[in-house]
């Protein structure tokens, strides 16, 4: 965990601008106004930043319960932690009680695999959901399970989607509930051609019902595939109009923010970033080089997409206007940390998890932490 004054973040982003500018001069980057590459912009200021939990181990998934508390999955331990919230749904002003509500069975952590995304079905505020969903890596595959929930602890675990290819890298893992369907983001499992293979679940965003069957209205009847041609999606979020957006890791060329349309092909590994090739859908935003981002979590709030980046150690704010996206700006967090997941809390704040204990960071004595943010937009 590295702390420093605001000038440190500005200096870092200025250096990134020099790198991006040099590459552009060399002819490597050529993005039009509809596909802005992320550059150093004036930072977005915080109104408030509070630590609501600390000493988490490789936190990955984050989902809120109706009472305002949050469930957090720990990738490397397989545990699900609960961070208490206030009864009115707003987070406490300081550290809150954190407890373990159970351990997901079958988790085989290693590399980028382990207990990944977690999702909670929407329920009235006065009630608790009867189940939650989790994405995990096992000894044989990546899979999604439905877990009974009694409001206090995890119960029986039922696999609903199995056979998602696994590897040390590119396991995807983000899941998102929308009414009675579940979106599942998978990686290419380090085998790029699988992303274009319609018989494989790798390199896709899937859309299924709560039993894991293809959801009604999918692009291809009887298929779970919603979109294809993805390298490694780890961020999913819906905007106010119900449109689905996703963040995606590139190689060294371009990370992406995509607007996902049913049945569309997003190009990997044939193309990365923007392309003029027919048959592929271009990203709305790119980050080049990928050291400025490596985007994982995604949240949409008040007309903006917030992107948590790992290598870039930046929370990006991207203004949205319908189906168009503007230029990313860095939120001034006043520190630098690898950032994994960002989510909109019930009270309108953003919760943001650091990712310094994931084997690639430089953890401090209180890492990893969950932050609660109010951003001056």
Report pLDDT digits (tens) over 105-162: 999 999 999 999 999 999 987 788 999 999 999 999 999 999 999 999 999 999 999 9
Locate 298 and state its tokens: 């995604």
Please report, for residues 80, 129, 155, the alpha-carbon distance to residue 76 in angstroms, rounded to integers and kept in the order given: 11, 26, 20
- Phi, psi torsion values for 148, nearest 5 degrees: -60, 145
- Phi, psi torsion values for 250, nearest 5 degrees: -95, -170
Please report, for residues 12, 122, 172, 309, 341, the alpha-carbon distance to residue 234 in angstroms, rounded to integers and kept in the order given: 25, 21, 5, 11, 9
More confident residue, 103 or 2: 103
Report the predicted TM-score, pTM, of the whole model to 2 decimal places: 0.88
For residue 217, the tally of other CB atoms under 10 A from its CB is 10
Map tokens 């963040």 to a residue.
247
Report pLDDT digits (tens) over 2-29: 334 333 333 444 343 333 333 333 333 3
For residue 93, the tally of other CB atoms under 10 A from its CB is 11
Map tokens 């207990």 to a residue.
115
Report pLDDT digits (tens) over 287-345: 999 999 999 999 999 999 999 999 999 999 999 999 999 999 999 999 899 999 999 99
Q: What SS3 state is found at 265? A: strand
Cβ burial of 269 (10 Å; 0-12, 13-18, 19+) is middle
Given the candidates 3.20.20.70, 3.40.50.720, 3.20.20.10, 2.120.10.30, the CATH classification of the domain at 2-375 is 2.120.10.30
Domain ranges of the chain: 2-375
| Residue 38 DSSP one-character state | P
């Amino acid at each position: 965990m590295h702390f420093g004054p605001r000038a440190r973040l500005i200096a870092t982003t200025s250096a990134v601008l020099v790198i991006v500018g040099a590459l552009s001069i060399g002819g490597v980057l050529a993005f039009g106004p509809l596909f802005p590459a992320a550059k150093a912009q004036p930072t977005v200021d915080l109104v408030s930043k509070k630590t609501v939990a600390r000493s988490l181990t490789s936190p990955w998934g984050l989902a809120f319960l109706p009472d305002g508390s949050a469930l957090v999955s720990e990738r490397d331990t397989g545990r699900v932690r609960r961070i208490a919230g206030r009864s009115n749904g707003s987070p406490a002003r300081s550290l809150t009680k954190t407890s373990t509500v159970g351990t997901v069975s079958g988790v085989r952590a290693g590399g980028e695999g382990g207990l990944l995304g977690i999702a909670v079905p929407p329920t009235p505020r006065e009630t608790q959901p009867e189940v939650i969903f989790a994405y995990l890596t096992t000894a044989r595959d990546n899979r999604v399970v439905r877990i009974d929930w009694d409001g206090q602890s995890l119960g029986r675990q039922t696999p609903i989607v199995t056979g998602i290819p696994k590897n040390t890298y590119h396991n995807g893992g983000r899941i998102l509930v929308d009414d009675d369907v579940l979106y599942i983001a998978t990686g290419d499992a380090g085998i790029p051609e699988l992303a274009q293979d319609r018989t494989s679940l790798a390199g896709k965003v899937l859309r299924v019902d709560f039993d894991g069957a293809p959801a009604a209205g999918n692009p291809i009847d009887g298929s779970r595939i919603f979109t294809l041609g993805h390298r490694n999606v780890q961020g999913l979020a819906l905007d106010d109009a119900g449109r689905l957006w996703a963040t995606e890791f590139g190689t060294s060329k371009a990370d992406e923010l995509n607007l996902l349309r049913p049945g569309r092909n997003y190009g990997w590994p044939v193309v990365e970033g923007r392309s003029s090739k027919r048959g592929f859908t271009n990203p709305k935003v790119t980050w080049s080089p990928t050291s400025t981002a490596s985007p994982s979590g995604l949240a949409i709030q008040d007309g903006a997409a917030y992107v948590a980046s790992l290598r870039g150690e930046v929370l990006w704010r991207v203004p949205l206007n319908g189906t168009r996206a503007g230029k990313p700006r860095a939120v001034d967090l006043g520190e630098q940390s690898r950032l994994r997941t960002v989510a909109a809390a019930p009270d309108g704040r953003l919760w943001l998890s650091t990712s310094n204990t994931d084997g690639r960071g430089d953890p401090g004595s209180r890492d990893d932490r969950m932050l609660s943010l109010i951003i001056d937009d």
